[in-house]
Amino acid sequence: MNNIKVVIFDMDGLMVNTEPMYFLLFNLVGSKYNFQLSFEEYCKITGSGPDNAAKVIQKYPKFKHIKEGVTTDMIKEYFPLFFKKPGDANKPGLRELYEYLKKNDYKIAIASNSFKEIIQQVLHYLGFEMKIDVLMTGEDLRPKPNPDILLKIAEKLDVQPSECLVLEDSSVGIEAAVRANMKVGYIPDIAYVDGETRNRATFICKDLAEVIAYLK
């Protein structure tokens, strides 16, 4: 039996299958600025958030002309076009885990490097109502891998960091959770996570439904 009272979800690649969409979107953006990302290059920046990604890709010589914030604006413009049918982008086990958490009185939060506007769009297209107790993003405080948004969630819900479980699919998310002294479940997606970082996770699951076994 564990002492978890709060479950904190990442969004992109964890709750919803947005990463392949973002890969296409980066190259849609790139077509306007004369650059293209390979899938390998994209996997190096995924999970970092749109503005951070813009900073990262400038490290590549062929992308140095990209201005910070370009991806932010373009994602806001094109994101709604990719969600045609509610529930299409949901990751396996999302609804099952959510219903278990609500039934057992866990507090639920989202901590994402994405934008609130985008997160709200995603929540609208889940195909079911997902009630969130706290939503924190990199717009509120320093983004992951800094632990700030995770610690603020614990503060808002009046719990200790050790009473929080963070669910993540990226290196920056795992690092943030470890730095916040929170337990972290790693559910792999396309983002590259090295072996050392994987080993820092409290546990690893193939999908969100398997998290239930850890909580029981």
Residue 103 inside a domain? The answer is yes
Q: Give the dihedral of Cα atoms 203, 207, 212, 215; nearest 10 deg.
A: 20
Domain shared by 91 and 197, yes or no: yes
Helix, strand, or coil here: 151? helix
What are the helix (H) ranges across 63-147? 70-78, 94-103, 116-124
Whether 144 contacts 175, CB under 8 Å:
yes
How many domains is the chain built from? 2
Domain shared by 36 and 121, yes or no: no
Q: Which H or E run includes 153?
A: helix 148-156
Q: Give, for all 216 residues of the chain, the pLDDT tens digit.
A: 589 999 999 998 899 987 777 777 777 767 776 777 788 777 766 655 555 555 555 665 555 555 544 455 666 666 667 767 778 789 999 999 999 999 999 999 999 988 888 888 788 888 899 999 999 998 899 999 999 999 999 999 999 999 999 999 999 999 999 999 999 999 999 888 889 999 999 999 999 999 999 999
pTM here is: 0.85
Closest to 13 (Cα-Cα) out of 172, 203, 179, 196:
172
Residue 1 inside a domain? The answer is no
Domain shared by 198 and 99, yes or no: yes
Domain shared by 10 and 39, yes or no: no
Separation between Cα atoms, residue 137 and residue 97, nearest integer Å = 22
What range does the domain containing 31 cover? 19-82
Q: Which among 30, 53, 82 is the end of a domain?
A: 82
Separation between Cα atoms, residue 214 and residue 140, nearest integer Å = 30
Q: Which among 82, 115, 134 is the end of a domain?
A: 82
Neighbour-count burial of 213, counting CB atoms closer than 10 A to its CB (0-12 exposed, 13-18 middle, 19+ buried): exposed
